[in-house]
Structure 1
Amino acid sequence: MSQMPGQDASQPLNGSRPRRELAVCEITTRNWTFEQDVPAYVAAGIDALGIYRPKLDGIGVANAARTLREAGLPARSMISMSHLAGAGDSLPAAVIDDHMRLLDECALLGVETLVVVPGMRHGRSVERVEALAIDALGRLASAAAERDVVLALEPIRAPYFDCLNTLSDAEKMVRTVALPGIGIVFDTWHLWNEAGLKETLKSAADLIRLVHISDWHDPPREHDDRLVPGEGVMPLAGIVRYLDELGYAGAYEVEIFSKDVWASDYHDVLRRCRRWFDGVWGDERQAVQLGAEN
């Protein structure tokens, strides 16, 4: 049975453990508008939404917030379109200004997590990019906390980004910042086959604030070649169940970049996501499998 939109996912059902929450990032339904996404997600039994910021341009932040409230659909995340480290050797004021604006939007929309990335090296050393990103997070942390928003770093696999490619690197950065409200996004597509994943997940579990899910086409033909959960070769159910065992209680958010999915029937995509997610928890006795290399 699906959670009713707007239901508090932290509350146990019938005295059992809290219900796991399925969200969908709007990039998954890229060709729909925000106004199309919201009622369709509700109709498909999706518990929450991840905002794809460009879609707000067509409706406006205030109208989007009202649409979400009226639908009873919470917004769990938004992805920053600005890079924390900028492109030069010093931190541009515009980076802080951009993220302050996004934090204000998150507060208005009820968004819990703002997904951020350091960005590309642009000829700089990895250490310099990380230092600039850490500086930016330090400057933004108090503003995020005041708005009840978590700034969550997302590691992205090479070659798509040339900096912050592993969960281990993200954990080191966040522990260096060492401020409340700074966390990590664990994206299964980027990190599922990272060496030593099981131990790194165990070490970083307390920092993970959002989990992105999609499946792996073997081999990927390009970045925009992700699959609906359960339809690829990734041991995705095992990863999700292991996170659950580690105590992760946040949203599992479908984020699919795929030319094939973007050209397909989105109602069907949402139904398949919901069906797979519900099936993950169908047999609690099933052994957790993350892959032989882990």
Structure 2
Amino acid sequence: MSTGTDRQLDRRVSVSGLCFPSLTAVESIEVVASLGVSAMSMSRYKLLDADLALVAEAGRRHGVRIVATTAALAFDLSSRASVRDGIAQACADVDRAAAVGARSVYGVLGPRPSADWSLAAAAFAEVAAEVVEYAGRRGVTVGIEPASSLYADVTFLHSFRDAIGIARAAGLVVCLDLFHVWIEGSLHDDIRQHADLIGHVQVADLVGGDRALPAQSVPGEGIIPLREMIGWLIEAGYDGVFDVELGGPRIEAAGQVEAASRAARWVDQTLASARPAARHGLRLVDSPEPPP
């Protein structure tokens, strides 16, 4: 196995622990460090059975910042008791995030609880506001993640455009997974106008014809115009990490660590091609100039 780097990559390059589903939290940190990457996100499932003090110490020892963790935000809105239980779980995830040094948590919203989408969104925002308040006291932000409608059984939020209203209503940020939202016709404008809501960005590619979920591939090896979209985000003022999240048959065939290494190097090279622009923040060198 070759990681293909002997230097530290850009600090904005991040690798998700979800890339390594069979590894523990500490093992995932060690692998991420071996790739020359200094930031990562972590699944809540890796933290549930972990010694959080040891996880935090491993991050410090290897020079890897845990910038975000997932959280149980898929609230069951069917009863007051289930809502209270859901809030308790989410707040416990906030505590775990704070214990390992993460400054944000994110998650999906759960399946659609009613036929009226707007009512479902309002109900979620009302419940999430309590978690946001608690997280704020811990110095942690809370994000919601849109996902493809192919995942309608686990979330009713499928676009950045829809996430904007919920986020503003409840004081949330948005985890923008480019693999899921790249098809949106208004994406460029929405990034430009609502970059302040973007708290975390995930990166994966798609090879045309792939259908086996999650059907992800290494960034730069598929059809998603990720280079341009990363340029939009930088230009809009987003200064957070670009978190590689990979899974599916192509990733397994390539090898999880090898795929993550190639992906991290691609993101690093893409960020290295950015340069200052006089009136537009940062722009990728080979991105087209904006219209006058």
TM-score grouping bracket, smaller chain normalisation: 0.7 to 0.9
1:139-178 pair list within 5 angstroms: 139-161=130-152, 163-177=156-170
Structure 1 stretches (4+) deviating beyond 4 angstroms? 1-5
- In 1, distance between residues paired with 2:78 and 2:210? 32
Change (3 A) 1:282 1:104: closer
- In 1, distance between residues paired with 2:11 and 2:47? 27
- In 2, distance between residues paired with 1:272 and 1:288? 26
Instruction: List alignment gaps of at least 5 residues for structure 2.
Output: 275-284
- The alignment status of 1:262 with 2:252, answered yes or no, reads yes
TM-superposed CA distance for 1:256, in Å, is: 1.2
Residue-pair matches, total: 272
- The alignment status of 1:113 with 2:96, answered yes or no, reads no
Q: Give the letter for the 2:103 counterpart.
A: E
Q: Secondary structure at the match of 1:42?
A: helix
Q: Secondary structure at the match of 1:141?
A: helix
Q: Secondary structure at the match of 2:150?
A: coil
Correspondence for 2:277: none
Tell whether the 8 Å contact from 1:226 to 1:258 is kept in structure 2 after alignment. yes
Q: Give the letter for the 2:23 counterpart.
A: W
Correspondence for 2:240: 250
Correspondence for 1:218: 208
Q: Secondary structure at the match of 2:238?
A: coil
- In 1, distance between residues paired with 2:231 and 2:6? 18
Correspondence for 2:58: 67
Q: Give the letter for the 2:260 counterpart.
A: L
Tell whether the 8 Å contact from 2:44 to 2:93 is kept in structure 1 after alignment. no
Give the TM-score of the pair, scaled to structure 1: 0.85
**Aligned with residue 271 of structure 1, among 261, 265, 277:** 261
1:91-110 pair list within 5 angstroms: 92-110=83-101
Q: Give the letter for the 1:25 counterpart.
A: S
- In 1, distance between residues paired with 2:101 and 2:288? 34
- The alignment status of 1:184 with 2:157, answered yes or no, reads no
Correspondence for 2:282: none
TM-superposed CA distance for 1:3, in Å, is: 7.6
Q: Percent same amino acid among aligned pairs?
A: 22
Q: Secondary structure at the match of 1:193?
A: coil
Q: Secondary structure at the match of 1:145?
A: helix
- In 1, distance between residues paired with 2:115 and 2:70? 24
Change (3 A) 1:200 1:226: same
Correspondence for 2:194: 204
